[in-house]
Amino acid sequence: MGAGSWLVCEADESDGTLALYAPEVAVVTNIEFDHMEHFKREADLVDCFRRLVARTKRRVIYCADDPRAAEVGGAVPGSWSYGCSASALFRAVALRMEPFAVSFDVLRRGRRLGRLRVPVPGRHNALNALAACVAGLAAGVPFKKIGAGLAAFGPARRRFEVVAAGGGVLALSDYAHHPTEVRALIGAARNLGRRRLLAVFQPHRYTRTRALGRDFPPAFLGVDELVLTPVYAASEAPRAGGRSADLLRHFKAFGRVRARGVASLAGAWKYLRGTLRPGDTLLIVGAGDVERIAGWARDFYGGPV
């Protein structure tokens, strides 16, 4: 897509091939243990990122707010850091959160470069936009053009995507399937200021559900009611400790998020359709075919205007 001398890609670490890239510029947003189907230890995942930054030709850019990214990126001579923390070379300050946007000032070594606004919500998207800004500066793009590009950004599908708005109900679909992603999603959704926040979550992979099961309940804090569907297997065989029933036990032990399990996506939608009231927000969360519920919500309530 597009034209010019630069190709921008989101490189996937899930199968380890990230270590084979040799980019001009590498941006490391965060490093957290995931993809247990490939990486047996967290150290193996971190080593994959170390190999990527070692092969980067021009500039390594990393988030100073993330401990692992700072550890890996900060070890590379000449790397650039970004974030909200005072240690970052490029800082986002004076953040202003809007229901569907975020804006902030950009400082470089304390000197203000200007203000950026991106039409997606949340602190995490402020950091993403700052990362894009710093990458653009590393590629020689003027700050003014970077600002214009971010202001015109078209939100990605299944990232805080409004899929239905009718009958006083707002339904959003989001691809979040890791606790950190879920936490960021819930924070952005609470900022909408609506009456109740309900969510349906389809866990993704038995390996991830088993390894991170205890981390999911705190990530959903702020949700008034959560519906858990069966795990989306993604080609995996069921594993003890990694089923939706196992995750539900973690929620019950946590005790601060009201959660219930259902046997199917259709069962989840039937329950939600009878529970949602005007003023409510519904989050449809997960990386599998839980998106079918987004289609049912669109058909029932009507699509966004």
Backbone phi, then psi, for 169, in 5-degree steps? -105, 135
Q: Pick the closest to residue 281 from 175, 162, 179 (CA basis).
A: 162
Show the beta-strand stretches assigned E in the chain: 25-28, 59-63, 80-83, 90-98, 101-108, 111-118, 161-166, 169-174, 197-201, 225-228, 259-261, 281-285
Domain boundaries, given as residue ranges, for the chain: 17-151, 161-301
Burial 249-288 (b: 16+ CB within 10 A, else e): ebbeeeeebebebbeebeebbebbeeebeeebbbbbbbbb
Q: What is the pLDDT along the chain (305 residues), one digit of tens a residue?
A: 788 889 999 998 999 999 999 999 999 999 999 999 999 999 999 999 999 999 999 999 999 999 999 999 999 999 999 999 999 999 999 999 999 999 999 999 999 999 999 999 999 999 999 999 999 999 999 999 999 999 999 989 999 999 999 999 999 999 999 999 999 999 999 999 999 999 999 999 999 999 999 999 999 999 999 999 999 999 999 999 999 999 999 999 999 999 999 999 999 999 999 999 999 999 999 999 999 999 999 999 999 86
Q: Is 94 strand, coil or helix?
A: strand
pLDDT in tens, 191-231: 999 999 999 999 999 999 999 999 999 999 999 999 999 99
- For residue 12, the model assigns a pLDDT of 86
Q: Is 289 strand, coil or helix?
A: coil
- For residue 304, the model assigns a pLDDT of 86
Look up residue 238 and give its DSSP letter. P
Q: Dihedral angle at the C-alpha atoms of 215, 218, 221, 227, nearest 10 degrees?
A: 50
Helix residue ranges, H only, 38-178: 42-54, 67-73, 123-138, 143-151
Query: Which residues, in sequence order, are CB contacts of 249 under 8 Å at separation 6+?
Result: none
Phi/psi region, residue 118 (left: phi>0; alpha: psi -120 to 50; beta: rest), is beta
Q: Give the predicted TM-score (pTM) of the model.
A: 0.93
Q: Which CATH class for the 17-151 domain?
A: alpha beta
Kindly report the CATH number that applies to the domain delimited by 161-301.
Answer: 3.90.190.20
In this chain, the answer to whether the domains covering 17-151 and 161-301 adopt an identical fold is no
CA distance 68 to 83: 14
